[in-house]
Structure 1
Amino acid sequence: MFQDLDATLKALLSDPAAPPEIRATDVSFDTPDKNFNPAQATIDLFLHDIQENRALRDNAPLLDRNESGYVSRRPLLRVDCTYLVTVWSTQSAGLKAAEEHRLLGAALLWLSRFEVIDASFLRGAITMPPQLQPLPVSLAQVREGQGMGQFWTSLGVPPRPAFSMTVTVGLQPFDEALELPPVQEVDVTTVVSDRPALVGRVLDAALRPLPGAPVTVVERGAATTADQFGRFAFGGLDFGSYTLFVRVEGRPDQRKPVTYAADAQAHDVIMPGR
């Protein structure tokens, strides 16, 4: 997968719209250590840091529509892939530094045009399945507490001009998918703000109502029976945490913890199959 991100970045640097001096350089993804000695002017992108982007973590499942209904999948893992971008010249003395600085600046300016990477540049497994969000790019950012001195020392080479490039990709660690039927109807449960009530429905696994099901609020000992549409309601309860207990003959008992609040009054109970 990371090799496909490499290929994506190489396509970005090789784009016909890129500056000619950028297109004329070689693109490498090797470790820029003391053994790195390219034979021509080279832009090297060294992938050295991979971290989950927790700020973009979303626990909501992904829903895709198909011919028979919907497919639900686990949420994506969003991962920051950080490259160290350096330029290597085959010139000598002052000409070497001049060429490296010129090409490094040109690379920075070209890459800074892309806040996100357009889908036309994506290569390999990054496109299968297609990325749900564009791949954001950040340049020349250093994480707090991160210094480059120890980095260059570990590579065994003197420090050299460089900038970072971080690309965030979405990965799907799980193959399994849940097939869901299409929506047949919409059932809206209404509540009145000045007369709150803990309301809901008792449903089977296919979301069909289970009329006559006894429902109890365990902490209060309050009990009622679901009507012909599976609906139940408890008035006069203080807002707080409760447990709904439902017992239907021929099915396992169901206990559902709920948080009852002004903006969370409706709580359905799905009963397991027989």
Structure 2
Amino acid sequence: MFDSLDKTLEKLLNEAPSNELPELNRAGVSFETPDKNYTLSSQLTVNLFLYEVKENRELRDPVPIVERVGDEFIRRKPPLRVDCSYIVSAWSDQTRAEKVRQEHLLLSQALLWLSRFPTIPNNYLQGSLANQPFPPPTMIAQVDSNKNATGEFWTALGISPRPTFNLVVAIAMDLRVAVPEGLPVVTSEIRLLEIDKPASLQRWFHIGGRVSEAADPNNAIDEAQVKLVEKNEIVKTNAQGQFIFSDLAAGNYTLEVSKVGFTARSKAIIVPGESVTAYDISLPT
């Protein structure tokens, strides 16, 4: 996926308008390590060195994704949101004052162009990034208060320090973890009609839900006690955190859920339910 991000950024930089940003438009784009053995891909080159990859916890969504696949529902872990951090530098094959002039001009044009995109538009996304669930947000030239490593970075590469700016792109990575949730019906209905009494229609329902951890809804809680208050019935969840109550009339009910090690919760419900998660409950620790 990181190679697809490289190709995406290369396409973005290559399509800079020639009438506004001529140096950037004709510059090459490189993702090689800019060490003392680095050679330019063209006379003018923008180098994007991927120096760090880490999870973006502010963008993390703990809510699982429930989707229908055929006749069943599948619960998937939400995508991992990952910050990909680049050091962006400009390079020229000229010498002395002309080299400095070209590199400063190229770096400023790269900064101006990339700053126009708070998110990367879909038409630039390449390879595996083409199916991103969210447009990848970017941060340009933001100071990282936890780092003072720019000088150390160039020293480690064995060359003199040079002007740079940071580019951070947050991409979504599918963890490909899916758990079958069963049939899409969370409330099943039984209708009873006496043959000699056409007006005596009775409707009864079976309902089912799931108990999970509030910190991570993908983690089911087994052996949790679930009480249907109005009928004083108690059941326990199975290994998948699932529970079922049968033979309920339509109406309002209350579920009380508890397990040692978790904070008990209650939930008002309506039978029949209207969604696949109508009876699901999460317990905080």
Normalising by structure 1, report the TM-score: 0.70
Question: How far does residue 178 in structure 1 lie from its aligned partner after superposition?
Answer: 2.9
Q: Percent identity?
A: 36
Counterpart Cα distance in 2 of 1:96 and 1:234: 74
> For each residue in 1:92-128, what CA deviation from the matched residue of structure 2 results, as whole angstroms up to 9, or x when unmatched?
110000000001000100000000001111111122x
Report how far residue 265 of structure 1 moved: 4.7
1:32 partnered with 2:37: no
Cα contact 1:140–1:163 (8 A) shared by 2? yes
Correspondent of 1:54 among 31, 46, 57: 57
* Partner amino acid, structure 1, of 2:137: P
Secondary structure class of the residue paired with 1:133: coil
Which amino acid is the alignment partner of residue 13 of structure 1? Answer: L
CA offset at residue 269 of structure 1? 8.4
User: Hey, what does 1:131 align to over in structure 2?
Assistant: 132
Distance 2:158 2:134 in 1: 39
Aligned partners of 2:138 and 2:167 also within 8 Å: yes
Q: How has the CA–CA distance of structure 1 residues 47 and 87 changed in structure 2, closer, same or farther, with 3 Å as cutoff?
A: same
The answer on 1:259 being equivalent to 2:264 is: yes
Which residue matches 1:229? Answer: 248
- Report the Cα distance in structure 2 between the residues aligned to 1:20 and 1:183, rounded to whole angstroms: 60
Q: 1:227 to 1:181 in 2, by over 3 A?
A: closer
The partner residue of 2:233 within 214, 239, 253 is 214
Q: CA deviation at 1:203?
A: 3.9
Q: Aligned residue for 2:47?
A: 44
The reply on whether 1:141 has 2:142 as its aligned counterpart is yes
Alpha-carbon distance in structure 1 between the residues aligned to 2:103 and 2:16: 22
Aligned counterparts of 2:23 and 2:252: Cα–Cα separation in 1: 72
- The answer to whether the aligner puts 1:92 opposite 2:95 as a matched pair is yes
Q: Aligned letter for 1:215?
A: I
Aligned-partner residue type, residue 57 of structure 2: R
RMSD of aligned Cα (Å): 3.7
1:46 and 1:54 map into 2 onto residues whose CA distance is 23
Q: Secondary structure at the match of 1:91?
A: coil
- Matched residues in 1 for 2:144 and 2:262: separation? 41
Corresponding position of 1:243: 258
Q: Secondary structure at the match of 2:39?
A: coil
Instruction: Tell me, in whole angstroms, the C-alpha distance in 2 between the residues paired with 1:104 and 1:234.
Output: 62
**Aligned partners of 1:142, 1:256: CA distance in 2, in Å?**
42
CA-CA distance at 1:145 after TM superposition: 2.7
Separation in 2, partners of 1:63, 1:126 = 22
1:181 to partner: Cα distance: 3.8
Q: For residue 14 of structure 2, what is the aligned residue in structure 1?
A: 14
CA contact (8 A) 1:69 1:181 kept: yes
Number of residue pairs matched by the alignment: 226
Q: Which has the higher strand share?
A: 2
Over residues 170-211 of structure 1, what are the superposed CA-to-partner deviations in whole Å (9 max), with x where a residue is unaligned? 001225353654458699xxxxxxxxxxxxx984579xxx9x
C-alpha separation in 1, matches of 2:61 and 2:74: 18
What secondary structure sits across from 1:228 in the alignment?
strand
Q: Deviations over 1:191-244 (max 9, x none)?
A: xxxxxxxxxx984579xxx9x88328xxxxxxxxx7831789689xxxxx9638
SS at match of 2:178: coil
Structure 2 counterpart SS, 1:168? strand
Helix, strand or coil for the counterpart of 2:58?
Answer: helix
How many angstroms does 1:73 deviate by? 1.4
Query: Structure 2 unaligned runs (5+)?
Result: 190-204, 211-227, 236-244, 270-277
Query: Once the two structures are superposed, what CA deviation does each residue of 1:135-159 show, in whole Å capped at 9, x if it has no partner?
Result: 0000111221311111111111111
Partner Cα distance (1:69, 1:181) in 2: 5
How far 1:54 sits from its partner (Å)? Answer: 0.8
With normalisation by structure 2, the TM-score equals 0.67
Name the residue aligned to 2:4. 4
